[in-house]
Structure 1
């Protein structure tokens, strides 16, 4: 009887340890994070962001939609895009793995709230992830 209790206890502990282990399905889901698409169909404008962690940032750390006005986002995005593009055009000076593409963001076009919100938050995410500053007064707040 004592041996049977020990076997059952050992089996239970084994099941418990197995159940607490990480699941390969969960690890695959993290590695296959869906890209974030920033688009305005009426303008035929689209940016696809494939930077691991941005989805998590957008859903947990970023201020919710509506927190900033569109004018605020546009003003910050103009500064961020300008500095980003300077770096993208100088791959010998800046990491071309980060600044892969120039962003065509024109201040006279109304891209809408969603595009400006996601673009702004990508810049916030990138500054935090890559420990850089793109301007607009965010050097101290993002760390």
Structure 2
């Protein structure tokens, strides 16, 4: 269980930057067998590191980069991050081993397509792997 905690801490490391300028992204992934993805801008003002067994293998089965628009990814990530952070604040209701640290994702910062794409897909992976639901469809319930 400790390794899960450390994995999730590292997986959700996003440090907010001070400006809204677009940054050049450096995406580094070890070899294809690695489950570590690091995305950072050149000045290292923010980064996301995902260390989760099976994430890379799962990611290649998902919709490719460019399928979703950046606005779609940003809006979904805002919803996911808000819900995730609410669950961190409710350890009596949600598993504190899954939700133990808030994610610093500022809506007025332009993180770029790659960060938003990987964060969005990580939330989908997280939902599937840990059987969690963040976004519930508000369709007809007759």
The question of a shared fold, defined as TM-score above 0.5 by the shorter chain, is answered with yes
Question: How far apart, CA to CA, are the structure 2 residues paired with 1:42 and 1:70?
Answer: 22
Contact 2:38-2:50 within 8 A present in 1 as well: yes
Question: Are residues 117 and 89 of structure 1, via their aligned partners in 2, closer, same or farther at CA, if it must alter by over 3 Å?
Answer: same
The structure where helix makes up a greater share of residues is 1
Alignment of 1:7-86 (within 5 A): 33-42=34-43, 44-59=45-60, 61-86=61-86
**Structure 1 moving runs of 4+ over 4 Å:** none
Q: Equivalent residue for 1:102?
A: 102
Secondary structure at the counterpart of residue 97 of structure 2: coil
Question: Are residues 80 and 121 of structure 1, via their aligned partners in 2, closer, same or farther at CA, if it must alter by over 3 Å?
Answer: same
Question: How far apart, CA to CA, are the structure 2 residues paired with 1:43 and 1:107?
Answer: 19
Question: Are residues 63 and 42 of structure 1, via their aligned partners in 2, closer, same or farther at CA, if it must alter by over 3 Å?
Answer: farther
Question: How far apart, CA to CA, are the structure 2 residues paired with 1:128 and 1:136?
Answer: 14
The structure where strand makes up a greater share of residues is 2
Which structure exhibits the higher relative contact order, with contacts defined as CA atoms closer than 8 Å and separated by 6 or more residues? 2
Cα offsets for 1:21-44 (capped at 9, x unmatched):
xxxxxxxxxxx8432223334561
**Bigger radius of gyration:** 1
Question: How far apart, CA to CA, are the structure 1 residues paired with 2:106 and 2:75?
Answer: 12
Contact 2:80-2:134 within 8 A present in 1 as well: yes
Contact 1:43-1:111 within 8 A present in 2 as well: no
Question: Are residues 62 and 100 of structure 1, via their aligned partners in 2, closer, same or farther at CA, if it must alter by over 3 Å?
Answer: farther
- Any gaps of 5 or more consecutive residues in structure 1? 1-31, 139-143
Question: How far apart, CA to CA, are the structure 2 residues paired with 1:106 and 1:130?
Answer: 25
Question: How far apart, CA to CA, are the structure 2 residues paired with 1:63 and 1:119?
Answer: 14
Secondary structure at the counterpart of residue 63 of structure 1: coil
Question: How far apart, CA to CA, are the structure 2 residues paired with 1:99 and 1:37?
Answer: 21
